[in-house]
Structure 1
Amino acid sequence: MSRPRLRHVALVVQDAAAAAAFYRETLQMEEFHQDPDGSRFMTDGYINLALIQHRLDGDVPTGFNHFGFEVPDVDSVADRMTQRGVARPVLRGGDRPFAEYRAIDPEGNWFDLSSHGFLPPGTAP
C-alpha cells in the first residue's frame, strides 16, 4: 500500500442489532464484532461499517459519525497533518482490534487512522 485507503465508515443508529440484521440480510455483509454496548461491526470483505448504538444519555446524535483510513505509517501522516496546522492524531482507548488513532480534519470531521486496517484480524482484503 503506497497511499492511505478509505476502509471504514461509522453510523450512530437507534437499534444496532436491527441495523446489523438489515445489512446482513439485504446486502450480505458479515458481522465480525459486537461491543458490550451493542454496537455492531460489519464487513463486505473490503470496507467495514460500524453501527454504533445510540445512547439516550450520550451527546452524539444518530447519523454519520466518522470514517477511517488505513495508512502505511501513522506517524508520517500525523507529521503531515501537523504541518498543515491540524491537531496531531491521538491514540484511541479500548480493546478493539482496529482504529488505533482518532484524527480531525480542518472542518472538524472525525476520522480514524490505522496501520493494520479495519477488517477482522487475519482477514485479507
Structure 2
Amino acid sequence: MGSESACSGLGLRKRFGCLRRDQKREDSQEVSMAKIKHIAIVTMDAPKLAEFYTKVFDMKILHSSKSGATYLTDGYINVALLPNKAEGKPNGLNHIGFEIDNQEEIARRIEAFGIKAPAQRPRNRPYAETRGCDPEGNNFDLSVHGFQEVEYEADRERGIKRVQEKVDA
C-alpha cells in the first residue's frame, strides 16, 4: 500500500504521521509540508479534454485563456490544460505545482540532492515564482503565494475582476 492511500483514515494518518491539508507539523520549524496545488497537462485539444474532465469527474472550469489554456478544479487541486505548441513534444504531464512556505529552504533541500536550485520564472508567468526539476528531470513549479492568489494577476492589472465560483467539494 502506497503512502498516498495509507493516510486516508484517521487511524492510518496517526500511524503514518500524515496530516490533513490544513495542519502543520509541530516539529517543522522552517517550513510546513508542501501542498500540491495544480497539475499541468499538455494537450492538442484543451476544450475537448476539459469537456471530458467536467462531464466524467464533475470538475469545474475556473478560466479559459486566450492562449487556449483551460483551468479546472475539483475544489482542492487545479488542473491546467495547456495547448501543445511545441512540434514533436508529446502530450501528457508537463509539471506539478507546489505551494510552499519558504523558497530558500526548499532550494537548499533541492541542492542537497546535487540538483541546481529552482530558477526564477518570467514575470509574464504569474502562476509560480520558480521552476525546478527532480532527479529524473520531471518539472515542478514552486509558489509561496499559491495558484489561486496569483492566477489572474495580469487580469487584475488590467482591471478585470475575477469571479470566484464556489466549488462544492
Shift of 1:33: 2.6
Which position in structure 1 is the counterpart of 2:10? none
Cα separation, 2, equivalents of 1:96 and 1:35 = 13
Shift of 1:94: 4.8
**Ranges in structure 1 where 5+ consecutive residues have no aligned partner:** none
Q: TM-score, normalised by structure 2?
A: 0.64
Q: Which structure 2 residues correspond to residues 17-36 of structure 1 after superposition, within 5 A?
A: 17-36=47-66
Cα separation, 2, equivalents of 1:38 and 1:51 = 9
Cα distance change, pair 34–75 in 1 and its aligned pair in 2 (3 A): farther
Q: Report % sequence identity.
A: 40
Q: In the alignment, residue 44 of structure 1 is paired with which amino acid?
A: D
Q: TM-score, normalised by structure 1?
A: 0.83
**Stretches (4+) displaced over 6 A:** none
Q: Which structure 2 residues correspond to residues 1-125 of structure 1 after superposition, within 5 A?
A: 1=24, 2-55=32-85, 57-119=86-148
Higher relative contact order (CA 8 A, sep 6+): 1
Cα separation, 2, equivalents of 1:118 and 1:48 = 8
May I ask how many residue pairs the two structures share in their alignment? 124
Note if contact 1:45-1:119 (Cα within 8 Å) is conserved in structure 2.
Answer: no
Structure that is richer in helix per residue: 2
Cα separation, 2, equivalents of 1:17 and 1:120 = 24
